[in-house]
């Protein structure tokens, strides 16, 4: 099953999308929280708002320079609601904390992923999801599509339950191309989400249907 998430902490933008029933949840990171004016002490309120608005998952990133700090904050975040998925970076400390949390059944998304090889320690740590950054890979001169396709092949070949949640998607075509190689989870900025079902031919057809329906009233 394919799942879509909205990569934003802007409530006025995200709330109607959650209410549509088409979006599974919200992904955030410290940069998005800062842009939305959400301070760390307001994260519990953000989680409550998102789940009340219909989010089945809320991704919140732990912070800290050591595995102990990341683990402790990850546990605190998960304690807010059982729909919180803890985000941790694909660093030695982040992976160490991931293994500890995953051992206790806490779902972890390993984030800031830029190369296919990073899927291997992520699987070893027992993470639930991995988040490669497609657009940023491209900006760095890497073939992001090839890297993500390789991740998906490794996961499929190993029989792992790890899911690839692609971030930094910039066009609907990016989503389609990744779906063709088996990727099932995507987090999109609101603008890209709105483009996903948009087509001028669809708009023209719907307008004609509406005209005919009104004429027959």
CA angle 187–193–195, rounded 5-degree value? 145
Alpha-carbon span 166 to 209, nearest angstrom: 36
One DSSP character per residue, 170-195 reads -SHHHHHHHHTTT--EEEE-HHHHHH
| Strand duo 129-132 + 108-113: pairing | parallel
The one catalytic residue among 33, 51, 86, 87:
87
Average pLDDT estimate for 159-179: 97
Label residue 1 by pLDDT band (50, 70, 90): confident
Average pLDDT estimate for 83-97: 98
Alpha-carbon span 52 to 66, nearest angstrom: 33
Establish whether 36 is a catalytic residue.
Answer: no
pLDDT at 217: 77
pLDDT at 73: 98
Reported as a single tens digit per residue, the pLDDT across 44-84 is: 999 999 999 999 999 999 999 999 999 999 999 999 999 99
pLDDT at 211: 92
Domains and CATH numbers, the chain: 3-215 (3.20.20.70)
**3-state class of 125 per DSSP?**
helix
Reported as a single tens digit per residue, the pLDDT across 183-213 is: 999 999 999 999 999 999 999 999 999 999 9
Residue 216 has pLDDT above 90, yes or no: no
pLDDT at 49: 97
What's the chain's length in residues? 217
Reported as a single tens digit per residue, the pLDDT across 115-153 is: 999 999 999 999 999 999 999 999 999 999 999 999 999
pLDDT at 89: 98
Q: What is the pTM of this model?
A: 0.94
């Amino acid at each position: 099953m394919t799942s879509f998430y909205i990569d934003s902490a802007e409530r006025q933008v995200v709330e109607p999308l959650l209410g549509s029933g088409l979006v599974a949840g919200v992904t955030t990171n410290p940069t998005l929280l800062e842009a939305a004016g959400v301070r760390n002490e307001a994260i519990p309120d953000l989680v409550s708002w998102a789940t009340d608005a219909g989010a089945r998952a809320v991704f919140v990133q732990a912070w800290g320079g050591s595995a102990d700090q990341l683990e402790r904050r990850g546990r605190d975040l998960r304690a807010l609601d059982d729909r919180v998925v803890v985000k941790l970076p694909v660093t030695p400390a982040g992976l160490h904390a991931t293994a500890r949390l995953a051992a206790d059944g806490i779902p972890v998304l390993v984030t800031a992923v830029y190369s296919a090889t990073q899927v291997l320690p992520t699987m070893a740590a027992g993470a639930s999801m991995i988040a490669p950054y497609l657009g940023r890979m491209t900006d760095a001169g890497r073939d992001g599509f090839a890297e993500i396709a390789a991740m998906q092949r490794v996961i499929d070949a190993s029989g792992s339950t790890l899911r690839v949640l692609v971030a930094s998607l910039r066009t609907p075509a990016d989503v389609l191309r990744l779906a063709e190689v088996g990727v099932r989870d995507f987090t999109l900025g609101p603008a890209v989400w709105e483009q996903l079902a948009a087509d001028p031919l669809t708009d023209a057809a719907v307008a004609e249907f509406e005209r005919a329906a009104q004429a027959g009233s």
